[in-house]
Amino acid sequence: MGWRRVGGTVAAVGSAPAALDPTYRCGAALDPTYRCGAALDPTYRCGAALDPTYRCGAALDPTYRCGAALDPTYRCGAALDPIWGGTAMRVIDTPLAGVKLIEPEVFGDARGQFFEAYHQQRYAAAGIEFTVAQSNLSRSTHGVLRGLHYQWPQPQGKLVSVLDGEVFDVAVDIRRGSPHFGQWTAAVLSADNRRQLWIPPGFAHGFVVTSASALFHYLCSAPYDRAADAGLRWNDAGLAIDWPLPDPALSDKDARAPWLAEIAPDRLPDYAA
């Protein structure tokens, strides 16, 4: 069984002979001339030096170089990652420290696709460490803007993604004393790109739907607390968020939310350096 490229990601998982042969070149049983990247090194055994039991790829692509030439972070060989022998995801730091964009590794074949939407150990190793206390779903139509919301006290961290459609997703640092106070970052999340955004506790969050509709998913680090529920105005001039839609549909609550400068300091999250 051989996986293929999906969404620009190379997935290298395949079957090979049960007993390893020191002359085996990751696909020799399929093609005696195949050396899993022969242009690199005809004696290369595609992972054997890393893990003698590792069979990287079978007959995926004669130009495939077992990950290393394509992506230096690719873990070609289970010995590099004791949890799993692949990258599983790419984590991108945004301009706001702590806010992270996650691009999962997607595996696919003729039957469909598979990817890990959350793995506690791997996410913690990437600096996204939290316990899932609540999972939420919202369905919104085109042009709906939800936000900017936060919770204080009892702040929530949120790992968010889109299961259907597309949104422009925003995180704003509103922590008192933060060097990035009042700054924002954004990402396009969609069912097609499968990206996730991690918004740590202490940040405000909002999104606007840019597709016909969107099914939005939240994993929260703390349960919803009505008494701590808070928000600020989506179009606060002091934030100057570059929303892609100028006239979104809002709830009455979001339309009447205060400007950031109007919020009492004790109603804003603390910053812990």
Determine the Cα angle at 197 with ends 196 and 203, to 5°. 160
Q: Strand 184-190 and strand 166-173: pairing?
A: antiparallel
Can you tell me the distance from the alpha carbon of 26 to that of 84, in angstroms, rounded to the nearest whole number?
19
Residue 218 annotated among the catalytic residues of the structure: yes
From 24, 118, 218, 271, the catalytic residue? 218
Contact, 217 vs 207, CB < 8 A? no
What phi-psi label fits residue 88: left (phi over 0), alpha (psi between -120 and 50 degrees) or beta?
Answer: left
Rounded to the nearest 10 degrees, how much is the dihedral formed by the CA atoms of 238, 241, 233, 204?
Answer: -100
From 64, 74, 149, 150, the catalytic residue: 149
Contacts of 157 (CB under 8 A, 6+ apart): 130, 198, 199, 200, 201, 220, 221, 222
Enzyme catalytic residues = 149, 218
